[in-house]
Structure 1
């Protein structure tokens, strides 16, 4: 990072924010000013801050301006973490370059920024030069897939000679994970810049160097979690983290610390170790993996509450066979004397360590004396196609990890449009592991006039949704609403099966174009939807949070049912039961909180600009009748509410006239 110039007094945050807004051609927004001041106070007071900032607040500027000022003042980088690639690209390609140009004349130097991703997102020069083993076995795939992968591999090889960053996202069109894995390495496989023959020109190391010189480092929640949890630093030294899209933090961290075990995973470890250890030792692990595969194939999918004797014995066989291979590989520092096999040995150690440690972790998950003492949950995912049945293990809570590893020695700003669920930040704070005395919650509102701009319609007269697809009454209701709106509808469904069933049924009833997620790439479908106001788009989870379509193309958002997690979801059900065993309300802490978050995100698709008008229609009558309905309604924007279908249809006709 450029050194700070202590002779130059930095302007106050309000002045910098005014300069930024003016320079970017915007208008001052009260919520933005309030948020920027709060971020500065939190950073200066070493106190964590959770900020709910509705769509249109301009929260990116509200945290970037005080963050950049702090970086200039201290000489330490600040880290901005996002959940999605879309926001990362928005920050790095649009917001930060323009902001840096605008603030340059007001600061000691022009703010510098960099994006940093996990090592697997960068091309590995050593592996590209055949310095590492090829993990894949073509016999696992049909000839057409191998041929398509081969073409992608060839394109990556050609791109490797041209790219300056090695960043996978810059390879357009993209390639499959299968093809990319031939050219990338996991952090634990990496030889390290000092020992790798290609270390001096390593793309991942060059990205880290750029990040080390920046004032603002943009990364993702997964890498933020890895940096916090691992013994080795991944991100530059920093004392402030801004977590944007903070409602996603717990799920992303949970994904990072979830491990899995399958016959295919064990087979990969065998292939890597088999080149380096005696055949008999490798065969022992291969046989244990085959035993595991046979056992999992015969077992019912779902949560594993008690460890069956057969599974316990098989996991122990896998663990012990992996340890035998690790021992047979010899000392880990032997690579110094055997540089030709260094890459292969490192890859073998990583695969074997993961196999051994995951088997042991699964065995340990069953050692608790009671449900309240349980720390982890194990479940079996059924295989499909060529994906084998897979055993997974995850923590019941990541709050303790976040409290100790992420929040412990730095100031964290957490922000999103949806954090105050049921009108309170407490639910999210508990999931993050924050204690009552070390954080502040702030809702800066939204510039939108929700009661005048939108209607929340709950179809109280409909029957409760069942498990056997959409009732006929729901299809009738959707038809009438879309006809009144003249298309212009985003349909958010709780499952892909429901979205497809509604699409098929309504294409016969409606005269407007009807798109369904899966018909094409989601980004292309959203573009088609935005381009033609008569078009409707139906889909599931990614559309609840990923659609930004201002203007007349989106006047009606239909939500088919309250998006509770599936009753058979192994992680959600285990967390719910665990909280109940400790004396809490498992349903409200897990299921209702999950539903409130998604409902708020889904409803947030309606108003994306100051001129937008429209209706959010929730077909599930439980939102109006159930005891938990008040909590869910308290999580939604303050739209004008009604349960009268005639009023809603008339309002939609007026809006689209």
Structure 2
């Protein structure tokens, strides 16, 4: 992998690398990255999806490498971590936290505000001792509401030149440090903001390492998604009240009421066509917000407090206005030609909101990330269905480079044909790249069994079938606990937890009982304990050793049929003549399955069973595509074989 990365740097060609758990992939890209940074006197950016990996790189991998490579390079490499401005304490905001807290508190549930004052006071004390102002250093942490009182987004910052605390700004200090180092570690969200919103937070760089690249599309999509709701409008009104005529802010406040009334009777879900009344309401928000923006006078830089109030008001008003404009414009093209999808969310614990998101981010990534730099994308799970094509298509990459004339790749049964404009079809102007799979140090076929419960019924929508619960109970009994249960919904995880706690003697932890980190610690500390949960556990659990010898997956994790973004993307692929189900739903499921089943083997001595209870993995036509996306475990559909293997590992029967 290190050699391939070095060659990609030399040839300025993008590289996609699948590197399984235990390969040391961070070293595989950091060594050539550090050499390039020092020999070319430039900065390399490393982007990750999770805080855990960022901390690993900064606290362990980079310090060890810097010391080891010092004799081979002209000096010891330097590195730093850089996050979005919202992650750093703002001293100016802290100075006015009490005033803003009183105003903003009215927008939230009063029951959640009882500890707000104490948390803000903690932040005042912490501000006197912290050297970085980084939110992740606060232990225990504070609520999002409390943190908002002492931080600002990039569009709310008045700028270090005019801020009374500009010389002490933590965010500016972090940016200054990042500009002087060889390697900057950041996250996918900040990478997307830097690339797409033209804030230029990151230093200039010609080499980008994207670790946990399977998360890139979702993180970029989240950054590119806008939301319009009553709370956002009301906050904009409060921030603009002192700067605009009362008639203008009252008009904007009335649009919030009108929008809320329409939300009351509207059904949640995707909107292919906007009703006239809703279009009128959104247009009223747009126009009222624009009226307030134009009424706010010029910046008075001699009055920092007034300048700050103006900046905060313009940021809130601009967000409301721009989202309303985008919502209305998204409906203008014919349905088949639209680039955005709009949907309404509402629920018992969720305030109604209109959302707008791009159908795809490949074009954005191709233009903003891959256009003028060499990019290395790596993860333990990138080859879905035995090919990089699915994810490369989502990233906007072109046809994979080959030194030989292109020949058709063998496709697993059910895998989609490459579509026009996607990898596998030559499209003018698309970035060229090559892929490689460096394999895994694990012998999956000797260390793990993939058991598919072919005899069970196809999962339904009315909760877990009693036969599924019986199957899980028998497997846990055979394993002696030691089970990670990965469920497709919180409802299923809760049902399994409640019913099996009554039937089994093993402790069963359920996501939501405590913080995920604490639950994983408890699970790892007691070999007899089981842990059940949903999405974050599919990708966030790293428990080597005997505490985890059975991974149970209740069903293939397809996106929900009513998921507005996934369903719109699926329809868009179909409109171009492709297989929307395979390109969107099956690819989504394959990625999650690969991540989830990869929880089993985390060290060279680990052994165990992955039990997928959904029979479609063995019987459906797309099952071959999904199975070829998983680690190459030894496979069986015989429950007796799976239980016997677990009993041997548990020591219940002689080996």
TM-score range, shorter chain: over 0.9
Give the equivalent residue in structure 1 for 2:193.
226
Q: What SS does the aligned partner of 2:341 have?
A: strand
Does the 8 Å CA contact 1:383/1:390 hold for their aligned counterparts?
Answer: no
Does the 8 Å CA contact 1:421/1:596 hold for their aligned counterparts?
Answer: yes
Q: Structure 1 residues 335 and 584 mapped into 2: Cα distance closer, same or farther (>3 Å)?
A: farther
TM-score (norm 1): 0.93
Once the two structures are superposed, the pairs formed by residues 131-530 of structure 1 within 5 Å of their partners are 134=100, 136-141=103-108, 143-331=110-298, 334-336=299-301, 338-371=303-336, 373-385=337-349, 387-436=350-399, 438-530=432-524
Give the equivalent residue in structure 2 for 1:47.
13
Q: Structure 1 residues 182 and 131 mapped into 2: Cα distance closer, same or farther (>3 Å)?
A: closer
| More deviation, 191-200/551-560 | 191-200
* Aligned counterparts of 1:224 and 1:604: Cα–Cα separation in 2: 27
Q: CA deviation at 1:191?
A: 1.1
- Deviations along 1:614-652, one digit per CA (max 9) or x if unpaired, are 000000000000010000001001110000111111111
Q: CA deviation at 1:142?
A: 5.1
TM-score (norm 2): 0.93
- Deviations along 1:519-548, one digit per CA (max 9) or x if unpaired, are 111111111111111111111000000000
Alignment match of 2:542 (pick from 540, 545, 548) = 548
Once the two structures are superposed, the pairs formed by residues 557-636 of structure 1 within 5 Å of their partners are 557-636=551-630
Alignment match of 2:635 (pick from 607, 624, 641) = 641
Does the 8 Å CA contact 2:193/2:223 hold for their aligned counterparts?
Answer: yes
Does the 8 Å CA contact 2:272/2:335 hold for their aligned counterparts?
Answer: no
Q: CA deviation at 1:364?
A: 0.6
The aligned length equals: 619
Q: What SS does the aligned partner of 1:641 have?
A: strand
Q: What SS does the aligned partner of 2:262 have?
A: helix
* Aligned counterparts of 2:598 and 2:97: Cα–Cα separation in 1: 49
Q: Structure 1 residues 549 and 340 mapped into 2: Cα distance closer, same or farther (>3 Å)?
A: closer
* Aligned counterparts of 1:514 and 1:504: Cα–Cα separation in 2: 9
Q: CA deviation at 1:324?
A: 0.4
Q: CA deviation at 1:383?
A: 3.9
* Aligned counterparts of 1:66 and 1:132: Cα–Cα separation in 2: 49
Give the equivalent residue in structure 2 for 1:27.
none
* Aligned counterparts of 2:382 and 2:454: Cα–Cα separation in 1: 27
Does the 8 Å CA contact 1:464/1:621 hold for their aligned counterparts?
Answer: yes
Q: CA deviation at 1:133?
A: 6.6
Does the 8 Å CA contact 1:272/1:347 hold for their aligned counterparts?
Answer: yes
* Aligned counterparts of 2:243 and 2:260: Cα–Cα separation in 1: 24
Once the two structures are superposed, the pairs formed by residues 532-543 of structure 1 within 5 Å of their partners are 532-543=526-537
- Deviations along 1:267-307, one digit per CA (max 9) or x if unpaired, are 01100111101100110101011101111122111111101
Once the two structures are superposed, the pairs formed by residues 88-103 of structure 1 within 5 Å of their partners are 88-103=54-69
- Deviations along 1:365-390, one digit per CA (max 9) or x if unpaired, are 1011232x1100000110434x4201
| More deviation, 539-548/101-110 | 101-110
Q: What SS does the aligned partner of 1:183 have?
A: coil
Give the equivalent residue in structure 2 for 1:59.
25
Q: CA deviation at 1:36?
A: 0.5
Q: CA deviation at 1:131?
A: 8.6
* Aligned counterparts of 1:107 and 1:201: Cα–Cα separation in 2: 34
Does the 8 Å CA contact 1:133/1:343 hold for their aligned counterparts?
Answer: no
* Aligned counterparts of 2:223 and 2:18: Cα–Cα separation in 1: 25
* Aligned counterparts of 1:471 and 1:113: Cα–Cα separation in 2: 52
Q: What SS does the aligned partner of 1:631 have?
A: helix
* Aligned counterparts of 2:501 and 2:347: Cα–Cα separation in 1: 33
Q: Structure 1 residues 79 and 132 mapped into 2: Cα distance closer, same or farther (>3 Å)?
A: farther
Q: CA deviation at 1:457?
A: 0.4
| More deviation, 296-305/544-553 | 296-305
Give the equivalent residue in structure 2 for 1:109.
75
* Aligned counterparts of 1:240 and 1:85: Cα–Cα separation in 2: 21
Give the equivalent residue in structure 1 for 2:406.
none
Does the 8 Å CA contact 1:113/1:214 hold for their aligned counterparts?
Answer: yes
Q: Structure 1 residues 325 and 132 mapped into 2: Cα distance closer, same or farther (>3 Å)?
A: farther
Q: What SS does the aligned partner of 1:460 have?
A: coil
Give the equivalent residue in structure 1 for 2:414.
none
* Aligned counterparts of 1:142 and 1:240: Cα–Cα separation in 2: 46
Does the 8 Å CA contact 2:97/2:149 hold for their aligned counterparts?
Answer: no
Does the 8 Å CA contact 2:164/2:304 hold for their aligned counterparts?
Answer: no
Q: CA deviation at 1:97?
A: 1.2
* Aligned counterparts of 1:576 and 1:291: Cα–Cα separation in 2: 33
Q: CA deviation at 1:150?
A: 1.2
* Aligned counterparts of 2:20 and 2:509: Cα–Cα separation in 1: 28
Q: What SS does the aligned partner of 2:115 have?
A: helix
* Aligned counterparts of 1:478 and 1:232: Cα–Cα separation in 2: 50
Q: What SS does the aligned partner of 2:172 have?
A: helix
Alignment match of 2:647 (pick from 646, 650, 653) = 653
Q: CA deviation at 1:99?
A: 1.5
* Aligned counterparts of 1:237 and 1:132: Cα–Cα separation in 2: 38
- Deviations along 1:478-513, one digit per CA (max 9) or x if unpaired, are 111111111111000000110010011111111111
Alignment match of 2:38 (pick from 72, 79, 99) = 72
* Aligned counterparts of 1:235 and 1:138: Cα–Cα separation in 2: 33
Q: What SS does the aligned partner of 2:80 have?
A: strand
Q: Structure 1 residues 144 and 440 mapped into 2: Cα distance closer, same or farther (>3 Å)?
A: same
Give the equivalent residue in structure 2 for 1:3.
none
- In structure 1, runs of 5+ residues without a counterpart are 1-34
Q: CA deviation at 1:337?
A: 5.4
Does the 8 Å CA contact 1:81/1:224 hold for their aligned counterparts?
Answer: yes
- Deviations along 1:137-189, one digit per CA (max 9) or x if unpaired, are 33344554222111111100111111111000111110000000000000001
Q: CA deviation at 1:232?
A: 2.9
Give the equivalent residue in structure 2 for 1:4.
none
The CA RMSD measured in Å over matched residues stands at: 1.2
* Aligned counterparts of 1:215 and 1:430: Cα–Cα separation in 2: 31
Q: What SS does the aligned partner of 2:155 have?
A: coil
